[in-house]
Amino acid sequence: MSLADAFHGRNVLVTGGLGFLGSNLAIRLVRYGARVTLLDSLVPQFGGSFFNIAPVRDAVVLNISDMRDANSLDILVQGRDYIFNLAGQVSHGDSMRDPQLDLAVNCVSTMNLVEACRKHNPDARLLYTSTRQVYGRPQSLPVNEDHPTVPIDVNGINKLAAEYYHLLYHGTYGIRSTVLRLTNTFGPRQQIRSNRQGFATVFLRQALRGETVGLYGGGRQVRDFNYVDDVVGAMLLAITTPACLGKVFNLGSEHAYSLVEFVEVLGKFCKFKSESVPFPDDKKIIDIGDYFGDFSRFRAATGWTPQVDLEEGLERTVAFYREHKEVYWQ
Amino acid sequence: MSLADAFHGRNVLVTGGLGFLGSNLAIRLVRYGARVTLLDSLVPQFGGSFFNIAPVRDAVVLNISDMRDANSLDILVQGRDYIFNLAGQVSHGDSMRDPQLDLAVNCVSTMNLVEACRKHNPDARLLYTSTRQVYGRPQSLPVNEDHPTVPIDVNGINKLAAEYYHLLYHGTYGIRSTVLRLTNTFGPRQQIRSNRQGFATVFLRQALRGETVGLYGGGRQVRDFNYVDDVVGAMLLAITTPACLGKVFNLGSEHAYSLVEFVEVLGKFCKFKSESVPFPDDKKIIDIGDYFGDFSRFRAATGWTPQVDLEEGLERTVAFYREHKEVYWQ
């Protein structure tokens, strides 16, 4: 069965539906003919915006509410075939500056969601998007799912706890959950105006504005990158593949790049300069060093491989943000 | 330097100070001449009681407050040399019935404490008492600290997150923390009237009352046991040993016992019958099977070994609860 067939006419809830991942997912789900409800708190700094879903604004149901409120979730989960749990606080730096907010948004909210499913929709299929940050500093590369989890920021700890809640509710109550650990995801509809969604968004904004891109400590750190359309595809496969039930999977890419190399590729589409700058102390302390993930387990389970490489992805991304510069970065 | 010298005149805060571990620790600290403040929320089902500290009531400062309240902690951590963070919700079953309460009491409270230390007392020495429950069902025995953490109840997840907060604040901010993973601890001053503090308390109450002790599924499950005085000793060593900084250690015992064997030892001091009963579904689903821990890492770091074996510990324990039956179980 194709993904389009799998989702046609199905009732889907997307938490964080106005955010980067959620809006891109929503657009795909609408194309597949799903009945889509988007839940978003629109906490200003979290990245959600109405503009993100402009292409499907009239084809989805919007529900503005905060998952820290358990009562609304008890209602909102009912009748859903699929629930994509994408909402969350993603900034590592913010998680250190306001750890209690991160705890509430990532742990309390997730607990509310799995409890709501247990009580009101135990047959729902759930997907949770976690982060490679749960591993901390890699002890060896590439990192697979058996690598020890030693988070080095509050966000990594809280996302890990949220993973565990999903897996526990699968093992204990049969709530059918899958966890994906995302790496650097980039593409249209990301909040690039702030510094909250990773260095790639900062570089992109600086490049688009023609500013000088600052590479911490020379930019030799290695990372892997996924274009958002590939991540949307991964989420759709993960939530429809029985072999993914109750499991955790890495995403990742065939090739890893240093930040210098990333900036070189970006330079094909934008005119800007870059320079090495000192690593700020507050960033250095939560920096994980080199990272790239092994996604062979997810590939074996679902057949997924990334289709859009860094160059093609950045070309599309730059084109999108150029077209919508007033909205995202000007 | 002896432990008595290490604590004499020192300013010590014990969270959960009216509970099982906290009160036994307080009595020892007072004997060593420490200046002791006990913080306790006295949430009724958590096991704290004024009677627990009767022997030292006039030698300690009591502060009744809830660690979910960050503001009071910001004050209470100030000026402390040592902070023993023992407060928490410990019932695995309750954590499944009210997971949000468990999250608040174990995660939010711990975050409040480490944040308070970061802001107001970064030189304090911290000890956190965690649980072998973070490992879930053992993949091999004995379990050492490198065993994967796959908690199978909400309490195990939240205690694991709380461990991570302590270790993160050590690694990131230099807050000097140590984590001990306790196994079955027994002895005087435990809440044995309810079923919230583990099977040993239930067996003990039934044995004292002359009721029939019910062994789930025949009672072949293997466990290790520490008498509370040994655990107090372990905590005092852990918090004063520089080699323990930023690390996680198991406690444990030289010998492990099946529940049947535990009941046989208990039978030397109480007259009661026992019988096999079916494993209740809600207990079976969070049962970890056989467990005993490897504490060689902690022994190597501190020289600690348990001094009181199961038989001697149960003899003392039964004597204590017989003397105070109106308070604890009648």
Shortest alpha-carbon distance between residue B150 and chain A (Å): 8
Q: How far is CA A71 from CA A113, A116, B29, B263, B301, in A?
A: 10, 9, 45, 45, 49
Using a CB–CB cutoff of 8 Å, tell me whether A154 touches chain B.
yes
In chain A, what's the furthest Cα-to-Cα distance? 55
Q: What is the DSSP code (8-state) at residue A51?
A: G
In a domain, B60, yes or no: yes
CB interface of B with A, residues 258-297, below 8 Å: 285-286
Burial of B66 from C-beta contacts in 10 A (0-12 / 13-18 / 19+): middle
Amino acid in position A80:
R
DSSP string, B296-315: HHHHHHH-----S-HHHHHH
Model confidence band, residue B286 (pLDDT cutoffs 50, 70, 90): confident
Search chain A and give the residue with CA nearest B99.
A111
Q: Are B280 and B216 in contact (CB under 8 A)?
A: yes
CATH number of the domain that residue B70 is part of? 3.40.50.720
Q: Are B74 and B116 in contact (CB under 8 A)?
A: yes
Helix, strand or coil, per DSSP, at residue B270: coil
In a domain, A182, yes or no: yes
Answer whether A157 sits within 8 Å of B171, measured CB to CB: no
Mean of all residue pLDDT scores within chain B: 96
Q: Are B12 and B36 in contact (CB under 8 A)?
A: yes
Using a CB–CB cutoff of 8 Å, tell me whether B144 touches chain A.
no
The strand ranges marked E within chain B are 11-15, 35-40, 60-64, 82-85, 125-131, 176-182, 184-186, 213-216, 222-227, 248-250, 256-258, 274-277
Shortest alpha-carbon distance between residue B112 and chain A (Å): 8
In a domain, A91, yes or no: yes
Model confidence band, residue A194 (pLDDT cutoffs 50, 70, 90): confident
- Closest Cβ–Cβ partner in A103, A165, A172 for B111: A103
B169's enclosing H/E stretch is helix B154-173
Put the strands of the sheet holding A184-186 in their side by side order: A184-186, A222-227, A256-258
Domain limits for position B8? 3-190+225-254+292-308
Question: Cα separation of B116 and B85, whole Å?
Answer: 13
In a domain, A66, yes or no: yes
Provide the β-strand partners of residue A313: none
Question: Cα separation of A200 and A184, whole Å?
Answer: 8
Answer whether A111 sits within 8 Å of B99, measured CB to CB: yes
Q: Find the mean pLDDT for residues B96-115.
A: 96
Answer whether A157 sits within 8 Å of B152, measured CB to CB: no
In chain B, what's the furthest Cα-to-Cα distance? 55
Q: What is the pLDDT of residue B197?
A: 85
Q: How far is CA A88 from CA B159, B237, B282, in A?
A: 21, 40, 31
For tokens 């520089």, the residue is B242
For tokens 């900036």, the residue is A263
The strand ranges marked E within B122-243 are 125-131, 176-182, 184-186, 213-216, 222-227
In a domain, B197, yes or no: no
Model confidence band, residue A223 (pLDDT cutoffs 50, 70, 90): very high
Q: Are strands A82-85 and A213-216 parallel, antiparallel or unpaired?
A: unpaired
Residue A200, both tokens: 């790639």
B76's enclosing H/E stretch is helix B70-76
Using a CB–CB cutoff of 8 Å, tell me whether B83 touches chain A.
no
In a domain, A274, yes or no: no
**Interface residue of B114, B133, B158, B164 to substitute, partner A, most A CBs within 10 Å:** B164
Q: What is the pLDDT of residue A252?
A: 98
Answer whether A111 sits within 8 Å of B103, measured CB to CB: yes
A184's enclosing H/E stretch is strand A184-186
Model confidence band, residue A34 (pLDDT cutoffs 50, 70, 90): very high
Q: What is the pLDDT of residues B201-229, one digit of tens each?
A: 999 999 999 999 999 999 999 999 999 99
For tokens 């503009």, the residue is A51
Q: What is the pLDDT of residues B297-315, one digit of tens each?
A: 999 999 999 999 999 999 9
Residue B217, both tokens: 């599924």
Number of structural domains found in chain A:
1
Answer whether A103 sits within 8 Å of B99, measured CB to CB: no
Q: What is the pLDDT of residues A129-174, one digit of tens each?
A: 999 999 999 999 999 999 999 999 999 999 999 999 999 999 999 9
Residue A271, both tokens: 């005119």
Answer whether B164 sits within 8 Å of A157, measured CB to CB: yes
Using a CB–CB cutoff of 8 Å, tell me whether A112 touches chain B.
yes
Q: Find the mean pLDDT for residues A48-53.
A: 95
Shortest alpha-carbon distance between residue B164 and chain A (Å): 7
Which of A287, A292, A158, A191 has the alpha carbon at shortest distance from A200?
A: A191
Q: Are A285 and A224 in contact (CB under 8 A)?
A: no
Q: What is the pLDDT of residues B246-268, one digit of tens each?
A: 999 999 999 999 999 999 999 99
Answer whether A172 sits within 8 Å of B285, measured CB to CB: yes
Q: Are strands B222-227 and B256-258 parallel, antiparallel or unpaired?
A: antiparallel
Answer whether B96 sits within 8 Å of A286, measured CB to CB: no
Q: What is the pLDDT of residues B36-89, one digit of tens each?
A: 999 999 988 888 999 999 999 999 999 999 999 999 999 999 999 999 999 999
Residue A5, both tokens: 């067939």
Answer whether B286 sits within 8 Å of A172, measured CB to CB: yes
Model confidence band, residue B142 (pLDDT cutoffs 50, 70, 90): very high
In this model, does residue B194 exceed pLDDT 90?
A: no
In a domain, B234, yes or no: yes
In a domain, A179, yes or no: yes
